[in-house]
Structure 1
């Protein structure tokens, strides 16, 4: 409390001094500069012909993660890791350099204890990286473009994901409140990237996913795009439509529900489970997902 009071007092004194100096010079005090509006590059038009409005953009041109936009996920803070690795906030796992965000799964020099409020502390030798906009940015409906490349591996063991998750569990526990996986890359399927829309739909017509979104080389940069409206969710890769799904939730939900709520963006690199399970003797490490940029419009 004393430190906070001192900081406030110091701020007041500095501001007052600046105002007095400006007045003495016969000039009005300059206001603080307004924050810059996000820039998503060239204008993009909606189907109606009207332009989308840029609401979020990060080109990762700096030398560190922008804390105004992103928060590293950590297992210690409650982010669940199902593969036995530990999400940590370390430059070895979450780094910005040479114009990209790098999220890495790696083997540490020695086993360590990973604290987990969800599962209890456990011992592991593997760490991974993930970031989220939870607490900094969320949006309902719009257009997301993420340019990314996934690990150069063709055997089981790595899971990368570009995805959206609801800010609040308005309609209940997963999957009732929804989830939008723009792109998931499992190295056991190295020739494709899989989108998936999770919720309880009225009719299971299969249009909520597509396991045949073939990508010549996912380890090279591709642009993954989501267009989310009150009626439909469309996901494309390099401009080619992969999923075109009409929202139709099971009773009692109606209209765009559960996709009528604010969702948060996640970028994730982790070890795999299930049919894509990590195998220390087979899976190559380190494994890195790189993100060139993220653009969001409303």
Structure 2
């Protein structure tokens, strides 16, 4: 494996008084109204076949347009067990709202239970040309029900991806309780990962190149709830369903 020279900062506890610089608000989605704004969001449907069956991770769910609602200023994605199938919703801003650098955050309440896998993440907008992982991936929040009280933050790029991805898991006993803010502060120099405006993990390679820093281009946002899969499963507790991923807002600020 190629060695990557990097400045790694792991801050397990930051003073609550630390200032977070968000810059100017450049885009926000507050989920007002009665339906999803399809001028900003796309639905991704089905099981990923034939190109990436199981969405590349042996996930069990089928994505539909029916497993979500927009109501009272919240987006709710509901994962269900429908007969012998699991259903959920996955939405993206690909081709509509893409961002290069900034403070990017969502306020959300996660679903829980063994086999559940909600995520707030981003993919490089050139994934259609470069493919994965060369286009890059930023997992701002992942939570897996089989490992409670833990927030996952992960980066995938050519030198580090899949099981060898570059990430960190942060003990967070209160993660299952109520709403929390999940964010990145992304600059040309580094990416900081934050929960409730506290930095827990940073990535800043000194010698940036295409293989370790695809983060110099626009990325788009994804919200979804997966079921099972290589990361979320393999076992799924059917008694937990339905489960809701409730998103209050997504906001993007300049640096």
Q: TM-score, normalised by structure 2?
A: 0.79
8 A contact 1:86–1:126 mirrored in 2: yes
Please show how residues 222-241 of structure 1 align to structure 2 within 5 Å: 222-241=180-199
Structure with higher RCO (Cα < 8 A, 6+ apart): 2
Measure the CA separation in 1 of the matches of 2:199 and 2:193.
6
Whole-Å Cα distance in 2 between the matches of residues 249 and 173 of structure 1?
A: 23
Q: What SS class does the counterpart of residue 175 from structure 1 fall into?
A: coil
- Structure 1 pair 171/288, CA: closer, same or farther in 2 (3 Å)? same
Cα distance change of structure 1 residues 85 and 211 upon mapping to structure 2, 3 Å threshold: same
- Once residues 202 and 47 of structure 2 are traced to their aligned partners in structure 1, the CA distance between those partners, rounded to angstroms, is 37
- Note the C-alpha offset of 1:280: 5.2
Cα deviation code 1:27-66 (max 9, x no counterpart): xxxxxxxxxxxxxxxxx974xxxx7222210111221111
Match of 2:37 in 1: 66
Q: Is the 8 A contact 1:157 1:283 kept in 2?
A: no
Give unmatched runs, 5+ long, in structure 1.
1-43, 111-123
User: C-alpha offsets along residues 166-213 of structure 1, whole Å, 9 cap, x if unaligned?
Assistant: 1113883322221000000100111011000111349xxx99421134
Question: 2:74 pairs with 75, 90, 100, which one?
Answer: 100
CA deviation after TM superposition for structure 1 residue 274, in Å: 3.2
CA distance in 2, matches of 1:150, 1:238: 14
Matched residue, 2:144: 186
Residues 1:290 and 2:246 are matched in the alignment: yes
**Residue deviations 1:237-268, cap 9 Å, x none?**
01211111103577x638x8411111000011
Residue 196 (str. 1) matches residue 172 (str. 2): no
Equivalent-residue separation in structure 2 for 1:237 and 1:182 (angstroms): 9
Residues 230-269 of structure 1: pairs in structure 2 closer than 5 A: 230-247=188-205, 253=210, 257-269=213-225
Cα distance in 2 between the residues matched to 1:196 and 1:249? 20
Supply the distance in 2 between the matched residues of 1:280 and 1:187 (Cα, whole angstroms).
9
For 1:76 and 1:269, the matched residues in 2 are separated by 13
CA contact (8 A) 1:161 1:183 kept: yes
* Cα drift, residue 127 of structure 1: 0.8
Q: 1:163 to 1:281 in 2, by over 3 A?
A: closer
1:200–1:249 CA contact under 8 A, matched in 2: no
- Residue 11 of structure 2 is matched in structure 1 by none
Residue correspondences, number: 228
- Please name the residue that 1:88 is paired with: 64
| CA 1:199–1:68: 2 relative to 1, 3 Å | same
For 1:119-153, what per-residue CA distance to the aligned partner results, in whole angstroms no more than 9, with x for missing partners?
xxxxx522111111012100111110100010143
2:118 is the counterpart of 1:160: yes
In structure 2, stretches of 5+ residues that fail to align are 1-18
* Equivalence for 1:54: 25
Contact 1:176 1:258 survives alignment (8 Å): yes
Matches within 5 A, 1:170-185: 172-185=130-143
